Copies of this chain bind each other. A is one copy, B any other.
Amino acid sequence: MIEVEVKVKADHAAVKKIVLEKGAVFSGVEEQADVYFNSPSRDFSKTDEALRVRLVNGAGEITYKGPKLDKVSKTRTEYNCPADAENIISILLALGFFKSGAVAKRREIYKLDDFLIGFDTVKDLGEYMEVETDVSDGSSPEEIKGATDKIFRFLKSLGIEKDASIKQSYLE
């Protein structure tokens, strides 16, 4: 799966009002505690990859994110798999991976058309918004660009310009 995703700084109260007026439907709240790992064989901070074990409301999952595929969004290959956090962390540490950071956040999720909208309150960083849509693994660059443009048009309708897009992860 390829995750097409744009992240921006956002004042939740103001933006949420507009998103709700557009018909967004509340989908849930997640307390996310993330631990990031780096590899013994290559430096993910240089290769722009990410390996994460996330506890979502107490349930574990492991996620790999490949290098970002374009210059404006956070679009990248992503593989995700539910897994017991303690056991999968034991396996990663045994394989030589090492902890490179941690991020804790509260994500309030809304759905609107093909978009997942996450209102993130990140510990020590503040309020952000992520807008995500998924395209299949075999998508062409044009299809990915189409999905990205669609997100930017949506953001513009919220009064948020393209150059507000933040490519760095919360970890960075």
Contact = CB atoms under 8 A, between A and B. Distances in A.
Contacts of A62: 83, 88, 91
Contacts of A90: 64, 79
Nearest to A85: B81
B64 A96 contact: no
A42 B39 CA distance: 12
The count of identical subunits is 2
Contacts of A79: 87, 90-91, 94
* Dominant secondary structure of chain A at its interface with chain B: mixed
A20 to B, nearest CB: 34
A13 interface: no
A95 interface: yes
Contact of A41 (B41, B51, B87): B41
Interface string A49-79: 1010000000000111010000000000101
Contact of A95 (B51, B83, B84, B88): B51
B81 A91 contact: yes
Contacts of A138: none
